[in-house]
Amino acid sequence: MADTPTTDFLDAEVIARLSRLQVHSRAPMIGTVSGMHRSPHRGSSVEFAEYRKYVPGDDIKNIDWRVFGRTDRFYMKEFEADTNLRCHLILDTSASMGFAGPGAEPKLSYARRMAATLAYILVHQGDAVGLQNFSSHVENELPPQHNAAHLKNLLDLMGTLEPKGETEIVTILHELAEKVRNRALIIVFSDFLTDPEELQECFQHLRYRKHDLVVFHLLDRSELEFKFDRPIRFTDMESNFNIVTDPVTLRDRYLDAMHQHLDRLKQGCVEHNIDYWRVVTDSGFEDVLADFLLARQT
Amino acid sequence: MGLNFQQGMLLWLLPLAALPIIIHLLNRLRYRSVQWAAMLFLLKATRSSTRRAKLRQILIMTFRVLVLLLFILALGRPKSGWGGWAFAGAPDTVIILLDRSASMEMEDPGSGTTRRELALKLISGAAEGYAGESKLVLIENVLRKPRSIQRAGQLHNFNLTTATDTAANIPAMMQAALDYMVETKTGRTEIWIASDLQESNWHPASPRWASLSSSMSALPQHVSVRVLSTAGDTPKNKALTFIEATRQGHSEDTRLVIDMSVTRDANAAESLPLTMHLNDGRVQKYIELEGQTSAFNQVLPLEDDSTSGWGYVHLPDDYNNHDNEIFFTYRRRQHQGSFILANNSTVARYMALAAAPAPKLLDQSATEVSPSMMAGMNTDEAAMLIWQAPIPSDKEEQSQLLDFIAEGGSVLCLPPGNPGTATLLGLRWGDTDVAPAGQPFTIERWDEREGPLANSSDGTPLELRNLAIKKRQAILDESVDTDAASYELAHFEADRKPFLAMRSHGKGRLYFLSSLPLRDWSSLSDGRVLVPMVQRMLYQGGERLSNTSVANSGEWDPGDENWVPLGKNEQKNPRWQAGVFQNGNQLVALNRPPEEDARETLSQERMMPLFGKVDVYSFSADPTDAKELEHEIWRLFLIAALLCMVTEGILITPPKPTTQAGRTS
């Protein structure tokens, strides 16, 4: 008998507080139903968009008769179309996401709580949410839907995720850019421990497909500070490669390499108008999400 | 050559120096393993810094090992060999100043080697290292004449390195070395002083040291000094010191009273056999010793009414057989005449009273003569001349005074009141100095062992401390002759200027007293210091009239006369050996100078500053391991250990924390 997946990562109180905020797309979305997000197409919302001349075949119900009365010409009145969005939550579940410093929460666990909360908010505002987790390949994939049953399936899947395998984020994101044809909100949760130049190409690819891309870069405090006082055998969580070294002597160079990586990654995101969020896992995820949602309100 | 250790057992701790390496290896075995995600950065950091990190790690390890190594070595109290110097290269000239005074004959209880033998062994061993490269010159304490040495091995069989019963004058030996360096332009020179650091030989208070050190450091050639100290724990030794032998009584009740003292290290009461030889007789008595110094006298009846004779007294053998014997001569008391040549009649009267306080009882006479009359004066029967007038510049008058001294007479010069340029044996009068009202010049220290200010036979000191000197005339020593330097018998407390100076010349002595027995000059006229002082000078001067005398070995000059040792069937050299010597009907008893029995040694802290800016190294000789000269260098090791510790501390200091930038939630 299979274990019942846990949904402990979903905090009802946090959801209650954050549900007053909504997830807005920063780019027009092409959805399947009417929603709260701007669409690139003209539609039937109450918000006036523009006039255009009547051409044969147009539905006469949209002719503005007041304008005809004043000008004796037929003009078609057009309105903005509001639609829902499709959000793809992309979760890195490679082994490195299982890392946690002393007393800290594993990065995957942290990312799962964020993703689950966002999924709940999105579904409850009528948007479709899908989930994809990957390591060296896509391991699970749920296409975006907006019903409550789907949300349950999505959360159940999240509860089963375990960190394992090596990261092939570059390949995975390129494949995603090809696969998702309609404009969507793509939120990636990862520690991005790969070449930032290659990552930038992925991001560029996704932006080329007109997706609204959000990147949550998850880091552990011990990775940022690298404070060790004696020689240590470091074992890579993904490849089991190990190295014995004195962190005291290495610390400067480690921090240099890390900051260089972070700076290049952030710079790439800024250049491609990608919403980049660096998250240290010892900070409260509710605050992180609140900041994220508030920034999206404008 | 190389290192020796005083605490060699501690070197067993040396393996502890490997502790850092062992701890490092253990740490390697017990590395904490950490699962790490951000290996990307770690690999980049490792690639760029592995070589530097390894080098740093090796340096840290090396310094840690060095700290422990040097610390353990310092605990072992390392002593550097003479060879440690040899790295500087051989000097052009090595001048060996050998102290072969009587105290250098002290034997080491363990090895039986005397301090002099040990010094010779070490010095010749060290000098052999410079064979063919450095010129070797020997200056010993008796003759103080530089002698070239062809081979270092000669030192052992050289008659100028044998044992003596003399005292050493280290500043005078240094002066001889300085003169030699100036005259012969020795090039880079090292002066090796072998001495037991006996304070009475080093005269640390002498102003000569200041001029010596400044002259040496001003020489164009580089001069360094190495002091080989043979001073060590003095074994339980006893020294017999001669004070006086006087013939007393008349006709059938004639006796000889010998005043002497025994100096020893112990305090406990002890009985000691004393063997006395008088002419052909031999008497043994036991003396009771209490305290470190016991002064006593022995009375020996003189069976015949002999006018003169000789003898010796000795203690049982101990660790220094050169301080167990004293020699004496005696004679019937003779008339002691003196001439007072004074410009001031009051001074003349006081001095006449001091020179003959009881003329008939003591068979003494004092004749007052005007100084201008000296040329026609017959001094053949005089023991002493008292001169209170400017130093005669006339050569004939000067030579008359000098001849009188050379024959054994005493000359006491008193201040004329005016400064003068004429000198007598290098001494001359300087300016007159008046003490502030109510604050007379006082005298704190003087030679209490011998000379005219010595303590009485029962140890009572003269009342020099009660002397109030209101006016004085400076005594200036302009002598260049190192062999006859003046000796300050007493000096003033405030500025250490001499109160009474003495110079030996031939068999007699010249004295300069800086004040007068006048009310406006001093309280000398009360006689409590003046009378005993003049009487002793008179007694000393009486030697010239006698066919017997007593003198200090090394200070008495036999001249070219043939002096034959009496008593024991052994060859003795009257220049530096104690004994009774005969020349015709004349007898002389030569004894070890009393200052040789003084136990005080000069500490390193007091010795080193004497050399001023001249480089000086001190070595201590170890009689149980006399392979080479050594000095302790543990401080160097400790300093090196501290430097290593500081360097290690700098290397392990973690780099400054880097501030992080970036948008973090």
The predicted pLDDT at position B99 comes to: 94
A248 interfacial to chain B (CB closer than 8 Å): yes
The predicted pLDDT at position B426 comes to: 87
| Exposed / middle / buried, residue A268 (Cβ in 10 Å: 0-12, 13-18, 19+) | buried
User: Residue B349 and residue B622: Cα distance in Å, rounded?
Assistant: 60
A179 interfacial to chain B (CB closer than 8 Å): no
> In this structure, are residues B240 and B314 in contact, taking their beta carbons and an 8 Å threshold?
yes
Q: Which of residues 77-106 of A touch B (CB under 8 A)?
A: 95-99
User: Residue B77 and residue B11: Cα distance in Å, rounded?
Assistant: 10
Asked if pLDDT for residue A33 goes beyond 70, the answer is no
Asked if pLDDT for residue B630 goes beyond 80, the answer is no
For B403, residues 6+ apart whose C-beta sits below 8 A from its C-beta are: none
The predicted pLDDT at position A49 comes to: 60
Contacts of A278 in chain B (CB under 8 A): 662-665
The predicted pLDDT at position A80 comes to: 56
Q: Name residue B272's amino acid.
A: L
A194, A233, A253 member nearest B49 (Cβ): A253
Contacts of A248 in chain B (CB under 8 A): 652, 654
Pairing of strands B586-591, B548-552: parallel
A250 interfacial to chain B (CB closer than 8 Å): yes
**Inter-chain residue contact B42 with A250, CB threshold 8 Å:** yes
A95, A239, A277 member nearest B665 (Cβ): A277
> In this structure, are residues B410 and B511 in contact, taking their beta carbons and an 8 Å threshold?
yes
**Inter-chain residue contact A249 with B49, CB threshold 8 Å:** yes
pLDDT of B149-162, one tens digit each?
A: 988 888 888 889 99
Asked if pLDDT for residue B661 goes beyond 50, the answer is no
Interface test with B, best of A219, A251, A258 (most B CBs within 10 A): A258
Rounded to a whole number of angstroms, the distance from the CA of B16 to the nearest CA of chain A is 22
For B504, residues 6+ apart whose C-beta sits below 8 A from its C-beta are: B484, B510, B555
The b/e string for B548-570 (b: 16+ C-beta within 10 A; e otherwise) is bbbbbbbebbeeeeebebbbeee
Asked if pLDDT for residue B87 goes beyond 50, the answer is no
Residue B55 exposure: Cα atoms within 13 Å on the Cβ side: 4
Transcribe B586-626 into DSSP letters: EEEEEE--GGGG---B--HHHHGGGGTTSEEEEEE--TT-T
pLDDT of B519-541, one tens digit each?
A: 999 999 999 999 999 999 998 88
State the average pLDDT over residues B506-519. 92
pLDDT over 70, % of chain B: 91
Of A152-156, B2-6, B341-345, B542-546, the poorest mean pLDDT is in: B2-6
ipTM of the complex: 0.78
pLDDT over 90, % of chain A: 39
Asked if pLDDT for residue B486 goes beyond 90, the answer is no
pTM of the model: 0.52
Residue of B nearest to A107 (CA): B37
Residue of A nearest to B663 (CA): A278
The predicted pLDDT at position A34 comes to: 53
Nearest residue to A185 via CA among A136, A137, A115, A134: A115
Asked if pLDDT for residue B391 goes beyond 70, the answer is yes
Contacts of B649 in chain A (CB under 8 A): none
State the average pLDDT over residues B615-644. 75
**Inter-chain residue contact A193 with B38, CB threshold 8 Å:** yes
pLDDT of B275-333, one tens digit each?
A: 999 877 888 999 888 888 888 888 888 876 667 788 999 999 888 888 999 999 887 77
B43, B652, B658 member nearest A255 (Cβ): B658
Give the pLDDT band of residue B655 (cuts 50, 70, 90). low
Residue of B nearest to A98 (CA): B37
Give the pLDDT band of residue A169 (cuts 50, 70, 90). very high
State the average pLDDT over residues B256-279. 87
Rounded to a whole number of angstroms, the distance from the CA of A17 to the nearest CA of chain B is 19
Nearest residue to A157 via CA among A16, A1, A4: A4
Asked if pLDDT for residue A1 goes beyond 50, the answer is no
pLDDT mean across residues, chain A: 84
> In this structure, are residues A155 and A112 in contact, taking their beta carbons and an 8 Å threshold?
no
Residue of B nearest to A258 (CA): B41
Sheet with B238-248, strands from edge to edge, namely B238-248, B255-264, B293-301
Give the pLDDT band of residue A228 (cuts 50, 70, 90). confident
A252 interfacial to chain B (CB closer than 8 Å): yes
H helix count then E strand count, chain B: 13, 31
Contacts of A251 in chain B (CB under 8 A): 654-655
pLDDT mean across residues, chain B: 85
B46, B56, B665 member nearest A278 (Cβ): B665
Nearest residue to B490 via CA among B533, B553, B542, B426: B533
Asked if pLDDT for residue B102 goes beyond 90, the answer is yes
More confident residue, B267 or B402: B402
A230, A250, A287 member nearest B45 (Cβ): A250
The predicted pLDDT at position A17 comes to: 85
Residue B605 exposure: Cα atoms within 13 Å on the Cβ side: 0
Give the pLDDT band of residue A15 (cuts 50, 70, 90). confident
> In this structure, are residues B631 and B619 in contact, taking their beta carbons and an 8 Å threshold?
yes
Asked if pLDDT for residue B81 goes beyond 70, the answer is no
The predicted pLDDT at position A138 comes to: 92
Asked if pLDDT for residue A2 goes beyond 50, the answer is no
Q: Where are the beta strands (DSSP E) in B99-231?
A: 135-140, 147-149, 189-195, 223-229
User: Residue B171 and residue B168: Cα distance in Å, rounded?
Assistant: 9
Pairing of strands B427-434, B281-289: unpaired
The predicted pLDDT at position B88 comes to: 53
More confident residue, A16 or A281: A281
Q: Tokens in use for B69?
A: 């190594």
Give the pLDDT band of residue A31 (cuts 50, 70, 90). low
> In this structure, are residues B127 and B96 in contact, taking their beta carbons and an 8 Å threshold?
yes
**Inter-chain residue contact A96 with B660, CB threshold 8 Å:** no
Sheet with B579-583, strands from edge to edge, namely B548-552, B586-591, B579-583, B564-565
The predicted pLDDT at position B376 comes to: 79
Q: What SS3 state is found at B477?
A: strand
More confident residue, A7 or A88: A88
Residue of A nearest to B55 (CA): A249
Interface test with A, best of B23, B26, B41 (most A CBs within 10 A): B41
Asked if pLDDT for residue B2 goes beyond 60, the answer is no
Q: What SS3 state is found at B508?
A: strand
> Scanning the structure block, which residue is given the tokens 């004894």?
B591
Asked if pLDDT for residue A173 goes beyond 60, the answer is yes
Cα angle B507, B513, B518; round to 5: 140
B42, B44, B663 member nearest A266 (Cβ): B663
The predicted pLDDT at position B658 comes to: 47
